[in-house]
Structure 1
């Protein structure tokens, strides 16, 4: 007998690490699964296909500026930081070659009208970021009007997405609205460096 919501038999969860909003985890452990729940947020899963090192981030672009050259405002700098942090960690723990990277993108759902389709802005942002950096996602599950749980095996690159019911989506929406109301804090650039 097979359960409708069961994982495929070959997708053994092993040790599960939850990736929360603002987190970035990278590993080469064979038995590790990275897990997150997304509404409007985006998670990128990046893997070095040669070194079998991979990771996942989770970010929400919470504010938009009116400046034409700064389309997403301070939060885009946070999204760019989240993407660069993940890619750099995978490169430094892996082969160091951008050509070996495989990228998968998840999330960006419109799960609450109060979020002014932040999900669409997140999808646009991540596509523009990847294009500007010369990357293409090999697969993605983005958009829609539902929340999703994403499981990612950083060693093998396998990913599993489960679309969540309305009750779960409502919980995710409440959490994201609370996050969106807070200001995104961007680390200040280092301007004074002393070499010794």
Structure 2
């Protein structure tokens, strides 16, 4: 766990909300900090810079499909849902203008050789998703062979990333491996529902 002494003095954590895999949280409160630990998973932090509303998600593409039409299978639909959900929540609580959004992306580490390179697939997915939707990330901390803790202040848009030691990374890898083996399917909207 990150000690408060390792954070910049101006980064006051305030009220910390942990963002777990599958979560999406949005807030405009100045004292809120979203926190997550990422291995192969990816988190996007999206903020409306005019309304000072922001949020964080946390997702993992568990497996790749063999179909050319649906390259990452159901897990990509989940990744797309996680991204759409976050963007739509920030837009609805903010100004509603896509041009006011700033996006930061984190994670996608290769922390377990048994997971193939899920992290690289997650990075490729989130970058392609943003490009397809006409967005670009203003900053990112992706890849590597380590886990990371990400703290995000949705009101100000400040982010803090700490690379974690190998013991913590091994714990994260075990948790992700267990999830991948169970192939937990997170419910996504039916195909006839259009996300906007």
Residue 62 of structure 1 corresponds to 62
Partner of 2:99: 99
Structure 2: 5+ residue stretches without partners: none
Counterpart residue number, 1:187:
188
Distance in 2, matches of 1:69 and 1:176, equals 26
Structure 2 length normalisation: TM-score?
Answer: 0.94
**Could you give the per-residue CA deviations for residues 109-167 of structure 1, whole angstroms, max 9, x where no partner exists?**
00000110000000000000000000000000000000000000000000000000000
Give distance in 2, aligned partners of 1:125 and 1:37.
19
Instruction: Tell me which residue corresponds to 2:176.
Output: 176
Aligned residues of 1:46 and 1:86 also touching (Cα < 8 A)? yes
Q: Match of 2:53?
A: 53
Alignment of 1:25-174 (within 5 A): 25-174=25-174
Larger radius of gyration: 1
What's the Cα RMSD here? Answer: 1.6
**Which consecutive aligned stretches of 4+ in structure 1 deviate over 6 angstroms post-superposition?**
none
Q: Matches of 1:13 and 1:133 in 2, distance apart?
A: 32
Distance 1:98 1:188, change over 3 A: closer
Unpaired runs of 5+ residues, structure 1, are none
Deviations 1:35-89 (A, max 9, x none): 0000000000000000000000000000111011211111000000000000000
TM-score, length of structure 1 as denominator length: 0.94
